[in-house]
Structure 1
Amino acid sequence: MPPSSDRTTAATRPANGSSGVQSLERAFDLLERMADAGGAVGLSELSGSSGLPLPTIHRLMRTLVACGYVRQQPNRRYALGPRLIRLGESSARLLGTWARPHLARLVEETGETANMALLDGDEVVYVAQVPSRHSMRMFTEVGRRVLPHSTGVGKALLAHLPSDEVRALLSRTGMPAATEKTITRPDDFLTALEEVRASGYAMDDNEQEIGVRCLAVSVPDSPTAAAISVSGPAGRLTEEATGRIVPLLREVAAELSETLTGNGTPS
């Protein structure tokens, strides 16, 4: 999901039909802005970012609270509500269903395990996987959550964020070392993200688990920040293999993007 600064404000977006439709658009816009802000905001913050007047926001938030999609905290700030969890879980399962045929192509052509992951708050969550057919293969449980600094998909996802947002995230999560290869300094991690942007792909080189490499790319124009990856033993994911796999990853990511945005037909 793009940062709120990259979106048109709800106040300046053209009205789309009836007032009911416009209210629905504004309500979803506010939910997205709350997610961008970390899940909890005040009405004045929402008014400043959306451009909507406070009375309008207050009316919409009352409706969202009544429906369970937002809850008001004791400090009078508003937080995303528990009813969104069911929608999010169902959406993640559907994303996995759409992604698996694309991941299966990666496995067929590379021989290695393929994953899809999303950035959910400050964590990376794996939503789909197709395992390698090799007896020695990588396995990440769907639904597993990890910190982004030690993973290829995490780097691919964070490379698109402004540096100050990445620093803030790292400050919140810390940078614990999963192995002796894990990047544990923010400046070093930001340098690694510059390399991701320059090369167009990310690598986890023994940083999450010794003996394992992972190659990852982001999914362009995805409705929510997403990345796909191929992972396997370092002895198989060599420099030569990387040269073959990365172009395929980019091609599959573009095809997956078409599926997720409705420009392509889900396989």
Structure 2
Amino acid sequence: MPSSSASPSAAEAKPGASGGVQSLERAFDLLERMADAGGEVGLSELSTSSGLPLPTIHRLMRTLVACGYVRQQPNRRYALGPRLIRLGESSSRLLGTWARPFLARLVEETGETANMALLDGDEIVYVAQVPSRHAVRMFTEVGRRVLPHSTGVGKALLAHHPAEEVRALLARTGMPAATDKTITDPDRFLEALDDVRRLGYAVDDNEQEIGVRCLAVPVPNSPTSAAISISGPTGRVTEASTDKIVPVLQDVAAQLSVALANQTPA
């Protein structure tokens, strides 16, 4: 005679709080927790952070491993798997496509090249760009990866991270000098992040490339950490022009935030 009690797998298949399948909600939550932890965790860490029992986490991770979204390391810890790379690359391209009309408005109103960048692990990756119409203009290849300490978008993206997380990131990446203006000291970089929080925008003043100035703001409530920026020659992107450019950046970031929220199912 069949038992009246639900099996663990049946229990996990019941509707979740959002009306979806609970096991799927839990699996994606575990993937996000792994990403937040730097991409590699142990089962006990996931149990502590998620509140789920170890047997449930083990079943979910076993399924994710079988699908290639997670892999088990020789030390028995679990790491994000290679199949996520394809998903991430596709979603980044789509995010860049959605952003282009907003970047075009930035170019129209500021006259300078507009960019969108994401924080991907410890690096900044540029996912969209609309170039300036000026003959002399800045160009950053879409897909280019840079370290965050020498960029305006990097400062904008890290400004609201806890100081200890920023220090840990800088310790992992190092702080090589791209120019003689690059900030290469963690304490000075944290001071620069204080300025970002106080002012509401970030500046790269000849720090990534001599002769280039960049202004950047984060995209609020973005589904992934994102920032937009304008960049141009220091002769055009002056301190005097900053007061006119920053409100445009902030307004476009707010509009992009709403557009991205509308693209994300509730």
State whether TM-score is above 0.5.
yes
CA RMSD in angstroms, aligned pairs only: 1.4
- Equivalence for 2:169: 169
TM-score by structure 2 length?
0.92
Contact 2:153 2:227 in 1 (8 A): yes
Residue by residue over 1:60-102, the C-alpha shift from the partner in whole angstroms, topping out at 9 and shown as x without a partner, is 0011011111111111111111111111111001001000000
| Residue equivalent to 2:27 | 27
Query: Counterpart in 1 of 2:189?
Result: 189
Counterparts of 1:252 and 1:181, CA distance in 2: 29
| Superposition misfits of 4+ residues, deviation over 6 angstroms | none
- 1:85-125 deviation per Cα after TM superposition (whole angstroms, max 9, x unaligned): 11111100100100000000000111100000000000000
Q: Cα deviations across residues 215-255 of structure 1 (Å, max 9, x unaligned)?
A: 00000000000000000000000112111000000000000
Q: CA deviation at 1:16?
A: 2.2
1:114 paired with 2:114, answer yes
Q: Structure 2: how far apart are the matches of 1:242 and 1:64?
A: 47
Partner of 1:253: helix, strand, or coil? helix
Offset at residue 171 of structure 1 (A):
0.4
Is the aligned partner of 1:66 residue 2:66?
yes
Q: In the alignment, which residue of structure 1 is the partner of 2:48?
A: 48
Q: Distance in 2 between matches of 1:71 and 1:41?
A: 11
Sequence identity of aligned pairs in percent?
A: 82
Quote how far apart the aligned CAs of 1:262 are.
1.1
Q: Deviations along 1:154-174, whole A, 9 cap, x unmatched?
A: 000000100000000000001
SS of 2:210's equivalent in the other structure is coil
Unmatched tracts of structure 1, length 5 or more = 1-13
Per-residue deviation, residues 39-60 of structure 1 (Å, max 9, x unmatched): 1111011111111110000000
Partner of 2:12: none
What SS does the corresponding residue of 1:262 show, helix, strand or coil? helix
The equivalent of 2:10 in structure 1 is none
For residues 162 and 130 of structure 2, the distance between their equivalents in structure 1, rounded to whole angstroms, comes to: 32
**1:104 & 1:64 partners in 2: Cα distance?**
39
Q: Which blocks of at least 5 consecutive residues in structure 2 are unaligned?
A: 1-14
Q: Provide the residue aligned with 1:101 in structure 2.
A: 101
2:88 alignment partner AA: G
The structure whose Rg is larger is 2
Letter in 1 for 2:165: E
Residue 142 (structure 1) aligns with:
142
With normalisation by structure 1, the TM-score equals: 0.91
Residue number in structure 2 paired with 1:209:
209
